[in-house]
Structure 1
Amino acid sequence: MSDGHEPLDELDDAVAAAAFRRLVRHLRHRHDAQNIELMGLAGFCRNCLADWIRDAGFGGDKGAARELIHGMPVEEWKATRQKEASPEQIAAMQRSIALNAPDTR
């Protein structure tokens, strides 16, 4: 917001946490929505969420954060859920990433 006031910052932490957990559970359920597709459309994916929880203070390493978000070790996720990315998906992801401004939100 132009005046520096961000109503989102007033959202109760318990409410925000509940919404975040619901988002993660939804993404676990919708494993058909590939990370590459999420990146191409929205500029973030499950791995981004794992990075963001680490940035927010999660004490685990990258692998532990990804396991928390994916609901299984990342190697298992890749073997059972991840599909090969098409050139079109990669191009869409690259275009989407280019739209991401530095994280000031």
Structure 2
Amino acid sequence: MTNPIPKNQQTEIEAAAFRRLVQHLRDHTEVQNIDLMNLAGFCRNCLSKWYRAEADARGIELSDPDAREIIYGMPYEEWKSLYQTGPKQEHK
């Protein structure tokens, strides 16, 4: 299959799809990170690590807590206390 997307718009489309994914995960707090890991092989924490790695690759310093807050839409500890259920649900 040939990619019909013009090169100058591909990054914009990918960024928009990423923003929709992040918003979807923010809206669906009932979906636990461990469930995401088991089903998809990644979770919100993975996304925050990938985000931080891409910032680092561009010379932008971003702390782990700041990257997580970008993905979670709030400080991670707050999200965890509000929405994480069950014992040992965190994937690092």
**TM-score using structure 2 length:** 0.78
Instruction: Report the Cα distance in structure 1 between the residues aligned to 2:81 and 2:39, rounded to whole angstroms.
Output: 23
Aligned match of 1:3: none
Map 1:12-91 to 2 at 5 A: 12-57=10-55, 59-85=61-87
Secondary structure of the structure 2 residue equivalent to 1:12: helix
Unpaired segments ≥5 residues, structure 2 = none
Q: Offset at 1:59?
A: 3.0
Secondary structure of the structure 2 residue equivalent to 1:56: helix
CA shift in 2, pair 1:85/1:40, >3 Å: farther
Give the superposed CA RMSD: 2.5
Question: What CA deviation, in whole Å up to 9, does each residue of 1:20-74 have, x standing for no partner?
Answer: 0000000000111100100011110000000001111153110000011000000
Q: Offset at 1:84?
A: 1.4
Instruction: Report the Cα distance in structure 1 between the residues aligned to 2:26 and 2:61, rounded to whole angstroms.
Output: 22
Question: Amino acid of the residue matched to residue 20 of structure 2?
Answer: R
% identity of equivalent residues: 49
Aligned pair count reads 82
Unpaired segments ≥5 residues, structure 1 = 1-6, 94-105
Instruction: Report the Cα distance in structure 1 between the residues aligned to 2:16 and 2:87, rounded to whole angstroms.
Output: 32
Question: Which stretches of structure 1, 4 residues or longer, exceed 2 Å deviation after superposition?
Answer: none
Question: Amino acid of the residue matched to residue 67 of structure 2?
Answer: A
